[in-house]
Amino acid sequence: MGDLNDIKKKRGIGHLDNPKMPFDYFNREYGTVPRDTQRAPFQWVSEVAYKNVHRIVSRGYDTTELMEEGYGVVDVLFVDYQSRIPLIEEEQMLNYVMILALEDGLSAPAAMSRIVARTKTFLTQAAAASILAFGHAYGAYSAFGNRLEKYLKKAEAQKLTLAQAAGLLVKENLKDEALGVSNLMLKDPAAQRMIARAQKLGVAGKFIAFTQEIVKAAQKLSPEPVDLDMLGATGAVMMDLGFSAEATWAILAVTRALAVGAHYIEEIERQPYMRLGEALTPKEDYDGPADRPVPPLQDRDKVAQSGICKSVEEWVKAREERKKLPGSGYAIVEEIEDPSKKSGIKKVGKL
């Protein structure tokens, strides 16, 4: 066949033989460049775990040996995320948190799992949908935890007390849905019981102490009664157990996905699958404009309305009117802020 470069050079390809080219394209090597020993080859590298035909090893521990010794799933979460075997009190506390997080009745994740189930999908797809329901308001563990760390660092840098740092945090974030303090748990003692459990087990630390100061500060500044909610209690406990805000989010979202599997199964056992176009919605559930005739196309100019605004004043007036139209999107307040950043997020789509 001959040298591939010579064949291509004689044939000519586009402008590759142009003398203005800064290099001789047709004189390049094919697959003969030696391996660069000064840099690692492209490959996946992990400090978390490895697997071969004999064993699965997480952070240096053979997982089969962990099981044979009697360690459980909760213990291995500490191994995977923190590279350590936890104290028995820490294991008990995480077990407590995960049991409370696992099932929450017909909540948003369960509802999403059931909706997806009706379309005849795999259970894993429904579980994934439930995890997606853990947004920055419903399950804002990342935003909550990252904010605690931000203000604790500020307290250290500025020599503030926990109470002073909490006051500053609340002043700047009082209306944030991820504050961990709200009116959701004024009658439900679950959040307070979780903190009491952590204190009884001796695993309560700086994050719980800081969160308690945040509650006090919020109760002073809030115009309505507020108290610690499950986001605040769970987030603070998990961080005192040594889990990062992101690890907390991952662990608890997947924990809830375990329970929604049961909701998926129940849904497809009790209800038939729903095919495309089969679902009907009654007029009683509609509150938009009354039924009206479609105008003849030749009368379009008589009924059509322009959306063009010719002045700032017109635009402001039009925008206020459009805010009254549900489904238009004009009533949504969006902030261009990346929720994955360490500072957390203030609000997305908050009316």
The three-state DSSP-derived secondary structure of 44-63 is: CCCCCEEECCCCEEECCEEH
Please give the pLDDT value at position 349.
Answer: 47
The answer to whether 218 and 167 have CB atoms below 8 angstroms apart is no
The percent of residues in the chain predicted with pLDDT above 90, rounded, is 46
Strand partners, 333: 350
- Regarding beta strands 181-182 and 227-228, do their DSSP bridges make them parallel or antiparallel, or are they unpaired? antiparallel
Enumerate the β-bridge partners of residue 56. Answer: 51
Angle between helix 162-173 and helix 206-221 axes, rounded to 10 deg: 50
Query: What is the reported pLDDT for 337?
Result: 60
100 band by pLDDT with thresholds 50, 70 and 90: very high
Statement: residue 340 has pLDDT above 80: no
Euclidean distance between CA atoms 197 and 84, whole angstroms: 22
Report, as an integer, the average pLDDT of 94-114.
91
In this predicted structure, what is the pLDDT of residue 351? 46
Number of Cβ within 10 Å of residue 207's Cβ equals 21
Q: Rounded CA gap, 72 and 94, in Å?
A: 12
Band (pLDDT 50/70/90 cuts) for residue 3 is: confident
CB 141, CB 235: distance < 8 Å: yes
User: Strands of 49-51's sheet, edge to edge?
Assistant: 49-51, 56-58, 61-62
Scan for tokens 């001789």, then name that residue: 24
Q: What is the pTM (predicted TM-score) of this model?
A: 0.77
Instruction: Compute the distance between CA of residue 12 and CA of residue 16 in angstroms, rounded to an integer.
Output: 7
Q: Which amino acid is at 203?
A: V
Is the CB of residue 232 less than 8 Å from the CB of residue 181? yes
**What is the C-alpha to C-alpha distance for residues 235 and 222, in angstroms, rounded to an integer?**
21
What is the C-alpha end-to-end distance of the chain, expressed in Å? 70
How is residue 143 written in tokens? Answer: 């935003």
Separation CA 249–CA 344 (nearest Å): 12
Instruction: Pick the closest to residue 247 from 129, 97, 127 (CA basis).
Output: 97
State pLDDT tens for residues 296-313.
Answer: 999 998 889 888 988 999
CA–CA dist 167, 158 (Å, integer): 14
